[in-house]
Chains A and B, each alone.
Chain A
Amino acid sequence: MHKNALQDDYIIEAEGLTKTFSGFSAVRNVNLKVRRHSIHALIGPNGAGKTTTFNLITKFLSPTAGCIRFNGEDITALRPADVALKGIIRSFQISAVFPRMTVGENVEIALQRPLGCSYHFWQSERSLGNLTERVDQLLDAVGLLGYRNRPAAGLSYGRKRALEIATTLALDPEMMLLDEPMSGLGHEDVERISELIRKVAAQRTILMVEHNLSVVAALSDNITVLAAGQVLSEGPYSVVSQDPRVVEAYIGSVDE
């Protein structure tokens, strides 16, 4: 048990996060706390450092300064795959599927990982046992059951997003990081994916970067607004949307 019950309430705590690219600070002294079992959105105008923050938390980039704690444990020095093994699974802005594998195989790759046999080059694929049932469940949950044997490359953008979520869910992560889950989607898909996110958030924590403010307003419990690499404002939508600094930062850049 942790001594501090209040600290326990947060699944992710980033302190003083800074990333400098040859003189230019993309992110400066960002403090970010994400409450357990909440949907937390990271918003801000283009170039505010949202994706950089994302990459820092998942260790796809190493911070120049600052530290990141997950469940109270310092994960600043971990490698990206280790962060994933801790239970933080991220998505990517451009769709992250394995294009030349079938939809079913995409999910299987994720299901295979906890089995611990991924290094077994001497075993046949059959040693994986029957994953079919789990695959079908997961694909059904995102409405892709009918596409099981299709190559992932042939899916529409919206379905690729859904497949990505199914693949992520296959690992049953404690925390999901979604990088612009709605980008490039049509209206109908936005509603579907929103619904899906709300559904999967029941037992998890979600941190997402999103431009679509109506989605952010509808989904998120808490919002952090970034501008020019720094935290501008924080709080639920009702608070943040009234903050004059946020309004100012967004003038001319809100496309909704």
Chain B
Amino acid sequence: MTDLLGVPPALLFGQLLVGLINGSFYAMMSLGVAIIFGMLRIGNFVHGAQYMLGAFGAWYLLRLPELLPGLGLPSLGYWWAFFIVPVVVGMIGALMERLFIRRVYDLEHAYGLLLTVGLAMVIEGLFNVAYGAAGQTYGVPDALKGGINLGFMFLPIYRAWVIGAALVICFGAWFVIERTKLGSYLRAATENPDLVRAFGINVPRMLMLTYAFGVGLAGLAGVMAAPIYQVSPQMGQSIIVTIFAVVVIGGMGSIFGAIVSGLMLGLIEGLTKVFYPEASTTVIFIIMTIVLVFRPAGLFGRETSSHTVADLSSGRVGSILENSRLWLLILAVIGAALPFVVYPIFGMKILCLALFACAYNLIFGYVGLLAFGHAAFYGSAAYVTAHAATAWGLPPEISIFLGICVSTMIGALFGWLAIRRQGLYFAMITLALAQIVYFYAVQSGWTHGEDGIQSVPRGRLFGFIDLNNSLNMYYVTLAVFLAGFAFVNRIVRSPFGRTLKSIRENEPRAISLGYHADRFKLIAFILSAMLSGVAGSMKAIIFQLASLADVFFMTSADVLLMTLIGGVGTMLGPVVGATIVAVLQREFASFGAWVVAMQGAIFVLCVLFLRKGVIGTLEEFLSNREERRHSALDEIKPMDRSPLSQTAEADAGGVR
């Protein structure tokens, strides 16, 4: 047989089929994510875990007699699972909505994303404890066994069924939402809940059912995937980031876009496997990047011109907790004494994480952009520094400098691509971009894949400070941390920082005064990437290791968690948060596989109960106390008469 485009047709069609299968799953999953985002404004990061639940559900049903012996239950096969599991997973979704997700509807998008990240960690963590990383197999149902010879290729019937079923389900869902009365109620409920409520429609229940429907779709995808892929706790984690990228490409909120892009990108991925296999894991993210440059709203999305950033900061000017000189001194003293209390290596870990969190706080707290890909800066700097020190034998200061240069450049590129977007969209884009760096590190030779770059020599700093001495290393790290901490505070309190603050408070007004808001945000983003690079480079030298964990998205989630626990937009929050997380990680280490689930639980608890973080809560307490004292004073003073009448003292826009 002749080759097509230089490849054997069997290979080409085989990969096209694989691509179409993957595309079917992408379409079903992104459809659910798009519905949930469109209707509920929640970036459902737990979607991957819910898909995994679906696959495990099918597997459980098959093994009912073994799982629950003595009840005499029959083993329920594929077709039972096909109808039962989506409903059950949907019900689990409804329960999750009721217990957790409902509580964050009125909050910033950031919290919804964090909450679902936490839930995903809990679910996947628990399954990991129970089943480990190994996958379970699930057989193809008898009715769909075998295949058809199409002449140019062999088509397994089950795969044909998956593609057909997925298409019917996707376009059915699209039809319901866009073309029926129920769908129009749904869309109306998200546009104006109060009005729809006035029509006598139970809006909370409607939102719950919408969420359950989206989750049920993920469950169904899971059932359909069980006979094709291995049923494993990780199966959802690897797909969710891709799904987010698909939704961004399709256009946020566009259901049709999600379906079409899902199928199309699956096919493109399949073709890439044929023609340029090295890029097959990253091709979707690269396409996303290109789409963002030319069509920022996605292929099918509508351009929105919202100028809102999340003002989550809980710092207060003039508070004792924001006195940078005082705290720089206190931190220096504590830092100097630390290696005599804990192991220097643990102290260095805290300092590294604290610097990383300070850098992250710059963009999340002080600009108000939910970045979710800082692992790319931290990790790339770590890799470059490790490589420069190990393979090129460069001294530590040069290696660190190179690492910082690379993270700064990547930051400039990512920032340029993402900065025009806000909220959840910004988070998804930075996450997907960071994933390119991750897959690059997985595949590249010089990063040594799973092993990472090990035994990085610490060397002599400036030729005379021997960093192999752990106290030397510690005090150098402390100096770098203090410098970074001071630098962040200088940025925040500079003319630039003031302008950033005005942009965060009222972006259109800042623009109307002549400030190019996007430029300010971009510079802040680059500075944040650069400082993350400092932390990453130091980490590579301290731990003498750069590994995939450094560029993995969990690192991005960790730094977010630290900032959140400590207090977003506060000066000390990141430091306190990093310390807490480092201590918890050390304590949890003995629990082995439970760590991820526990960390997820902390995420969830933080979002639900400690949104202002430790420092933010303390700040609130202090400012309340001060306010009480002030109001006591005000009662003594006579009220001043002013030229303008007090028409609406408690008007909108005022703070409570």
Contacts and interface: CB of A to CB of B under 8 A. Distances in A.
Interface residues of B, number: 43
B517 interface: yes
Contact of B508 (A96, A122, A146, A186): A96
B145 interface: no
A248 interface: no
A185 B649 CA distance: 12
B655 A100 contact: yes
B644 A188 contact: yes
B645 A189 contact: yes
Interface in B617-656: 640, 642-649, 651-655
Contact of B512 (A89, A101, A108): A89
Contact of A124 (B490, B520, B642, B652): B490
A90 interface: yes
B514 A113 contact: yes
B73 interface: no
Contacts, number: 155
A156 B510 CA distance: 21
Contact of B514 (A91, A127, A147, A171): A171
A238 interface: no
A23 to B, nearest CB: 13
Nearest to B642: A146
Interface stretch (A33-41, A77-85, A197-205, A215-223): A77-85
B499 interface: yes
B511 interface: yes
Interface string A93-109: 01111111100010011
Contacts of A61: 305
B508 A60 contact: yes
Interface string A173-187: 000000000001110
A84 B513 contact: yes
B281 interface: no
Interface stretch (A24-32, A67-75, A157-165, A226-234): A157-165
B496 A109 contact: no
Contact of A125 (B498, B523, B648): B498
A158 B495 contact: no
B505 interface: yes
Given A90-B512, A92-B512, A158-B647, A121 B506 contact: no
B495 A128 contact: yes
A122 B494 CA distance: 7
A81 B508 CA distance: 9
A24 B649 CA distance: 39
Nearest to A80: B511
B509 interface: yes
A81 B515 contact: yes
A125 B516 contact: no
B644 A96 contact: no
A120 interface: yes
Contacts of B516: 79, 81-82
Given A119-B496, A121-B496, A125-B494, A184 B515 contact: no
A86 to B, nearest CB: 9
A138 B222 CA distance: 65
A99 B653 contact: yes
A112 B647 contact: no
Nearest to A143: B643
Contacts of B644: 143, 156, 158-159, 162, 188-189, 192
B640 A146 contact: yes
B651 A156 contact: yes
A82 B514 CA distance: 6
A98 B511 contact: no
Interface string A108-135: 1110110101111111110110000000
A112 B651 contact: no
Given A81-B517, A101-B501, A121-B494, A96 B645 contact: no
A151 interface: yes
B513 A89 contact: yes
Contact of A98 (B497, B502, B520, B527): B502
A51 interface: no
A184 B513 contact: no
Contacts of B653: 94-95, 97, 99, 153, 160
Given A121-B496, A124-B493, A92 B509 contact: yes
Interface in B72-118: none
Nearest to B517: A81
A195 B491 CA distance: 41
Given A94-B653, A127-B495, A81 B511 contact: yes
A248 B630 CA distance: 56
Interface string B469-498: 000000000000000000000110111111
Contacts of A80: 511-512
A82 B518 CA distance: 13
Contact of A118 (B496, B505, B651, B655): B496
Given A121-B494, A153-B655, A96 B647 contact: no
Nearest to A187: B645
Given A81-B514, A121-B527, A171-B513, A157 B651 contact: yes
B494 A151 contact: no
A156 B509 contact: no
Contact of B648 (A60, A94, A157): A157
Contacts of B502: 98, 101, 109
Contacts of A84: 511-515
A94 B493 CA distance: 28
Contact of B493 (A89, A90, A125, A151): A125
Nearest to A185: B647
Contacts of B510: 98, 109
A54 B420 CA distance: 23
A111 B514 CA distance: 11
A167 interface: yes
B649 A109 contact: no
A92 B648 CA distance: 18
Nearest to A147: B642
A58 interface: yes
Nearest to A108: B498
A119 B509 contact: no
Nearest to A79: B516
A154 interface: yes
Nearest to A110: B513
A80 B642 CA distance: 35
Contacts of A92: 508-509, 512
Nearest to A85: B514
Question: Counting chain A CB atoms within 10 Å of each CB, which of B495, B499, B652 scores highest?
Answer: B495
Nearest to B509: A96
A145 to B, nearest CB: 10
B645 A112 contact: no
A158 B645 contact: yes
B642 A99 contact: no
Contacts of A101: 501-502, 505
Q: Which 8 A-B pairs have the closest CB atoms?
A: A84-B514, A121-B496, A96-B509, A143-B643, A186-B647, A98-B505, A81-B516, A158-B644
25 contacts: A80-B512, A81-B515, A82-B516, A84-B513, A92-B508, A92-B509, A94-B652, A97-B653, A98-B501, A98-B505, A101-B505, A109-B513, A113-B515, A118-B496, A119-B495, A120-B494, A123-B494, A125-B495, A127-B494, A143-B642, A146-B642, A154-B649, A156-B644, A171-B514, A189-B645
Interface of A: 58, 60-61, 79-82, 84-85, 89-92, 94-101, 105, 108-110, 112-113, 115, 117-125, 127-128, 143, 146-147, 151, 153-154, 156-160, 162, 167, 171, 184-186, 188-189, 192
Given A84-B513, A96-B506, 18 more contacts: A60-B508, A79-B516, A85-B514, A90-B512, A92-B512, A95-B653, A97-B653, A99-B505, A101-B502, A109-B510, A119-B519, A119-B523, A121-B491, A153-B655, A154-B654, A156-B647, A171-B513, A185-B647
Interface of B: 305, 311, 490-491, 493-499, 501-502, 505-506, 508-517, 519-520, 523, 527, 640, 642-649, 651-655
